[in-house]
Amino acid sequence: MKRTLAALLCVSALLSPAALAAGAPQVEAAAAVLMEKETGAVLCGQNPHDKREPASVTKVMTLLLVMEALDEGRIALTDPVSVSAHAAAMGGSQVYLKEGEQMSVEELIKAVAVVSGNDAAVALAEHLAGSEDAFVARMNEKAAQLGMTDTTFVNCTGLPAAGHLTSAYDIALMSRALILEHPGIRQYSTIWMDTIRGGAFQLANTNKLVRYFEGCTGLKTGSTDSALYCLSATAQREGMELIAVVLGAPTSAQRFDAAKALLTFGFANYTLADVRPDQAIPPVSVSLGVADTVQPVLEQGSRILVEKAQLNQLTTELRLADGVEAPVEAGQKLGELVVSAGGTQLQTIPLTADRAVARITVPGLFLRLLRTLFLSG
């Protein structure tokens, strides 16, 4: 099962394969992906789109929907959740919920994030959607929104079920959505030891990297006899957060070793660099507009992912339209900032209008003409 990551697919909208660092590690796993959170760039992948059982890494999506509901105010951490017979009957990893027991949303999140409680995951799913089936439909809807084309969810736990499949790449996508859009998950995914039920039930994180890998921020383990050992591991150093997904490792230790190797490779070879134009961005002239010019601005953040070896080679080039005709819409593309290193183009960042410029009316054009004549006289 040993495969060389460096020899396999390395894809990204932001980095060309030629720009990727050599020497990606070998890992003992059926599939793997290393992704940077902010840009979504994939640094390397091993069978990234192979459809495989994810085991409890499934719960990344469960937690994503729960955190969405929290952040949107549809549920609260203090809400009591009544445990159904269905939730209490879940096997595998559990916190031994009893039918009719009540537990807060926050304690159930801890149970899912820290010890991968299947019963807690189902209880949360039913609380949000009324039934596990309805919640799973939402999971698949969200997967489609995120572009997870390799994924079909059948349950919210990751317990073995026919057709319950995803890929390392898709897990990276949903992991990125969780940590990027809902950073509050870290207060649960970084717990090493805690308790629920007023201190009566001990929790110890199944993700050993939380304690033993510098900067670890989570995220989720999983294992079954058929899926083998799986992991979505996240870590942050020097302002950059990486996601390492490992599927189908033969042992628990090998999944953690694989994730550590991938994360260490990423932090050693890549960084986020702030890029700015070498000169002030000049305004673009507007014909037949209520204003004569419009100011271009960078459409997105100016941080890009680059190899550390390229940091001192970065150059930028402004490419702007000679002029535009009104009306101009706010956000309309006016040009681009081209970022290169060593003669190789790395990325283009769109430059867009900072505001709208309406088309001048005939009376307005007449008044402008009069003002021009008056001033020139």
Q: What token pair was written down for 316?
A: 């930028």
What is the architecture of the domain spanning 2-269?
A: 3-Layer(aba) Sandwich (3.40)
User: Is the pLDDT reported for residue 38 higher than 80?
Assistant: yes
Q: Which one of the listed residues 12, 116, 189, 232 is annotated catalytic?
A: 116
Q: Which one of the listed residues 56, 93, 167, 223 is annotated catalytic?
A: 56
Diameter over CA atoms, the chain: 90
pLDDT score, position 343: 86
What average pLDDT does this structure show over 356-367? 79
- DSSP-assigned beta bridge partners for residue 127: none
pLDDT tens digits for range 119-137: 999 999 999 999 999 999 9
Which residue shows structure tokens 């990234």? 48
> What are the DSSP E strand ranges found in 55-169?
80-82, 102-104
pLDDT score, position 11: 35
**56 is known as an active-site residue:** yes
> What are the DSSP E strand ranges found in 238-377?
240-249, 270-274, 284-287, 293-294, 296-298, 303-307, 314-320, 323-325, 333-341, 344-353
Please state the domain extents for the chain.
Answer: 2-269, 284-376
Q: CA-CA distance, 127 to 83, in Å (whole number)?
A: 9
**189 is known as an active-site residue:** no
User: Is the pLDDT reported for residue 338 higher than 90?
Assistant: yes
**116 is known as an active-site residue:** yes
User: Do 332 and 353 meet the contact criterion of CB atoms below 8 Å apart?
Assistant: yes
238 phi-psi bin (left φ>0, alpha ψ -120 to 50, beta other) = left
Q: Which one of the listed residues 59, 110, 142, 260 is annotated catalytic?
A: 59
pLDDT tens digits for range 266-323: 999 999 998 888 889 999 999 998 999 999 998 766 789 999 999 999 999 999 999 9
Fold of 284-376: Peptidoglycan synthesis regulatory factor (PBP3), Domain 2 (2.60.410)
pLDDT score, position 16: 35
Q: CA-CA distance, 24 to 9, in Å (whole number)?
A: 11
Using the 8-state DSSP alphabet, how is residue 331 labeled?
A: T
What average pLDDT does this structure show over 143-167? 98
In percent, the amount of the chain with pLDDT more than 70 equals 90
pLDDT score, position 371: 66
User: Do 251 and 218 meet the contact criterion of CB atoms below 8 Å apart?
Assistant: no
In percent, the amount of the chain with pLDDT more than 90 equals 81
pLDDT score, position 342: 85
Closest to 291 measured CA to CA, from 323, 245, 338, 246: 323
